[in-house]
Structure 1
């Protein structure tokens, strides 16, 4: 029983279908070529019969000793392919002589053949069958003396067996050559795809150390292999990040829970009393707030990931909204110096105020964490034709080069922050998603030991 949707290899798929297409195409070419050869042979042989008739007329009417040669060497060679019947008839159509034994009585008078002025006509000779007739009149002193009739069997006029054989040989050679070429090319194309498929199975089994040949000559194949290797690298990194995430989330959530439990247990058991107990309760509340923030980040990220968090786009003035966000942030963070270069003149943008505040607040907080002691955070705003660009630059210790390609990956935490700052590694991922949700973007411009620069792209109001 045949299997439905049976899979086949790429090599077999392309070679079989190309071979079928090639054979159909070559068959059409063969038929057209054979028809053309048949028509050409027929035309040439009719012309040779015409030449023979004209030469015979000339022989019968010429009175000089010099006989012109109507048929050249090529013509004589072609005459070997036919064996015409030559009749000479009088003006009334009575056969006078022939190059063959005299015809039967039924065709000794061929007056009906002489009707019409066509170059050649088709007549029936019994029992020989269908023949083509070429007739030429014989004039003596401008008087019709008779006719030269040249007849040839229809089969002889179109018989070109040798040419058909040569054409078939040529078509067969082209078929073999074409099939060989597509087989070689399909095999060359299928090889890297098969390697990528094998590598995908290897990754599926959890082994990310795949080998794929590089520098393929075909651009598309090279792009496929390169993209797959980059994907494998990112998948490996995501797998490591996922593992770290499980440990990190467990640790980050376990730490405040443990602290809260310990603090409240101490108060409950009477280990601390009075003002000290009040301080313990306050610390427990702070840990609760931190845990609430982390859970809130997880919920917000999941909502943005599934487009479930609403975004309200409105027209706002850039300078005003940035000034308000910076003032609110400075009330809680007085450690660093903050410098803002506002737009002159002010520009209107299309954005969600709440999301823009979340993005900028997160970037300012990250900049403060990157500055170990005293430093400066600078916000620069500039206008372009269709966008407004806001740059946040700090004088902190920067992001390690090996961490920079992954800072926008969800749950990724660089080495500088992994143990220094508690969190889930969702801040930059969530900020980038928010920026894209309002039609803009968030990018890392540069980072070194001298500091880090992020760039927020916002849509200018029309």
Structure 2
């Protein structure tokens, strides 16, 4: 069911270009249709008002020319000519007419010529308005003194004084042109915006299928689009590097774990098949035991790292005397590696230095640095270490200096990456390359940091920084000192 819904959604999906252009076109059509209807209504109303005012002027002129004699209306003989000249001011049609009626609503004059029955056809029963609402007219009274002696009607169709087909076509062409211009604008913008998105989407499909060699060379003036394309390109490059690194790391881990297993298997089979004598068999078993211990350490490192990244390793933060802790760590470590006779010199300032951290995790970090320095010592040379404990601002630092062969320049940026092991380290000792990675994670969980300060053929210097614990009394004293300094 879910697959059917997903497939139906994919079928209904459209491109950004068609989606936005179609909807914007519909919005433009609806909007301009409403505007055009309002404009035509306004034009019609305004035209009717202007047409009626012009007709009223004609009616007043005719009313002034009609003569009242003996309570009878007399029309001047040249009135037909006058009306014909004035018709040029009107957009007349077959319904345009001028009628002069007496006080009994009898037809006295008409242009064009009409009969009395035509008056009843054109005017209402009370002779006060046009009978058909499709037509408009204006009535002007003919006054003699204070007495109304008749009326002049000037009538014409509303269509003739509003707009004709030419006006409708002109309005349609104007609004049609505006719609097309608006649609063309949104089409060009949508196409320009959709082009980089299509390229990024295609690149994402390539990455999803496992092809990380994608190239995005699009360059536009829009800063956001350039940032999107550039960031996606960097992400693709980073993913390719991570994939390559994952493959190499998996191969390295498999190799490092397979080597001791193969060695143990061969040694045990030699003892079982009596290939060696009892004395040699004991030596073979001792070698197999050492190989199993190495493999156990590698598996423990891998488990510790996985637990740390999964958040299942708890790191406590408590007040600890760093000078005392480092001294105990050095003493215990020298006993464990007494056969190598390492020389360790501890340099500490006067007074107590308290740190907020986990004593067990700090021990793991320092022991790992000492082990790495011991393994980096050339054969036949005594391992020497100088450990300095110092305070700087609100942090305490433990600097571990060894006299090993150092780390090459190309390896220094990568030593804290998981499963990374330099060529020299690969040849000298086995491991998964998780020691420094795990140590840095432990330092960061305690609010500190582990960094490589320097490295050369004469040795390497690592620095572990941890938060300095300060008592509340000292904090109050320092705060008072700061305030007095500011006030002074």
TM-score, with normalisation over the residues of structure 2?
A: 0.68
Distance of 1:231 and 1:77 partners within structure 2 = 83
Distance of 2:137 and 2:331 partners within structure 1 = 111
Asked whether the 8 Å contact 1:398–1:448 carries over to 2, the reply is yes
Q: Which residue of 2 aligns with 1:314?
A: 317
3-state SS, counterpart of residue 239 of structure 1: helix
Give 1:453 shift.
4.4
Q: Which runs of 5+ in 2 are unaligned?
A: 66-86, 221-225, 471-488
Given candidates 163, 171, 193, the residue that maps to 2:201 is 193
Q: Which residue of 2 aligns with 1:240?
A: 248
Give 1:34 shift.
1.1
Distance of 1:381 and 1:82 partners within structure 2 = 107
Give 1:311 shift.
0.7
Give 1:305 shift.
3.9
Residues 1:153 and 2:158 aligned together: yes
More off after superposition, 369-378 vs 43-52: 369-378
Query: In 2 relative to 1, CA 261–458 (structure 1 residues): closer, same or farther, beyond 3 Å?
Result: farther
Distance of 2:268 and 2:444 partners within structure 1 = 37
Cα deviations by residue, 1:71-120 (Å, 9 ceiling, x for unpaired): xxxxx99965999846577797958766555553155468685xxxxxxx
Distance of 2:134 and 2:248 partners within structure 1 = 89
Q: Which residue of 2 aligns with 1:21?
A: 23
Query: In 2 relative to 1, CA 382–51 (structure 1 residues): closer, same or farther, beyond 3 Å?
Result: farther
Q: How does 1:122-141 map to 2 (within 5 A)?
A: 125-126=131-132, 129-132=133-136
Query: In 2 relative to 1, CA 61–234 (structure 1 residues): closer, same or farther, beyond 3 Å?
Result: same
Q: Which residue of 2 aligns with 1:44?
A: 46
Query: In 2 relative to 1, CA 173–200 (structure 1 residues): closer, same or farther, beyond 3 Å?
Result: same
Distance of 1:108 and 1:329 partners within structure 2 = 122
Q: Which residue of 1 aligns with 2:231?
A: 223
Distance of 1:322 and 1:201 partners within structure 2 = 51
Distance of 1:31 and 1:289 partners within structure 2 = 85
Distance of 2:53 and 2:131 partners within structure 1 = 22
- In the comparison of the two structures, how many residue pairs are matched? 426
Residues 1:294 and 2:298 aligned together: yes
Q: How does 1:363-382 map to 2 (within 5 A)?
A: 363-372=369-378, 373=381, 375-382=384-391
Give 1:315 shift.
1.9
Higher Rg: 2
Q: How does 1:59-74 map to 2 (within 5 A)?
A: 59=61
Cα deviations by residue, 1:137-172 (Å, 9 ceiling, x for unpaired): 888989988677565426963654221133224313
More off after superposition, 356-365 vs 413-422: 356-365
Q: Which residue of 2 aligns with 1:397?
A: 405
Asked whether the 8 Å contact 1:263–1:284 carries over to 2, the reply is no
Distance of 1:112 and 1:143 partners within structure 2 = 18
More off after superposition, 155-164 vs 14-23: 155-164
Cα deviations by residue, 1:214-258 (Å, 9 ceiling, x for unpaired): 574422012101210121022112212222222222114444665
Query: In 2 relative to 1, CA 49–247 (structure 1 residues): closer, same or farther, beyond 3 Å?
Result: same
Residues 1:409 and 2:420 aligned together: no
Asked whether the 8 Å contact 2:99–2:111 carries over to 1, the reply is no
Asked whether the 8 Å contact 1:347–1:460 carries over to 2, the reply is yes
Q: Which residue of 2 aligns with 1:423?
A: 431
Asked whether the 8 Å contact 1:93–1:109 carries over to 2, the reply is no
Residues 1:304 and 2:308 aligned together: yes
Give 1:17 shift.
1.0
Asked whether the 8 Å contact 1:216–1:222 carries over to 2, the reply is no
More off after superposition, 218-227 vs 405-414: 405-414
Q: Which residue of 1 aligns with 2:119?
A: 104
Q: Which runs of 5+ in 1 are unaligned?
A: 64-75, 114-122
Q: Which residue of 1 aligns with 2:77?
A: none
3-state SS, counterpart of residue 5 of structure 1: helix
Distance of 1:186 and 1:271 partners within structure 2 = 78
Asked whether the 8 Å contact 1:50–1:134 carries over to 2, the reply is yes
More off after superposition, 6-15 vs 40-49: 6-15
Asked whether the 8 Å contact 1:92–1:111 carries over to 2, the reply is no
Q: Which residue of 2 aligns with 1:119?
A: none
Query: In 2 relative to 1, CA 53–407 (structure 1 residues): closer, same or farther, beyond 3 Å?
Result: same
Asked whether the 8 Å contact 2:452–2:463 carries over to 1, the reply is yes
Asked whether the 8 Å contact 1:377–1:393 carries over to 2, the reply is yes
Cα deviations by residue, 1:393-415 (Å, 9 ceiling, x for unpaired): 54543322333343333332111
3-state SS, counterpart of residue 423 of structure 1: coil
Q: Over the residues paired in the alignment, what is the CA RMSD in angstroms?
A: 4.7
Query: In 2 relative to 1, CA 21–272 (structure 1 residues): closer, same or farther, beyond 3 Å?
Result: closer
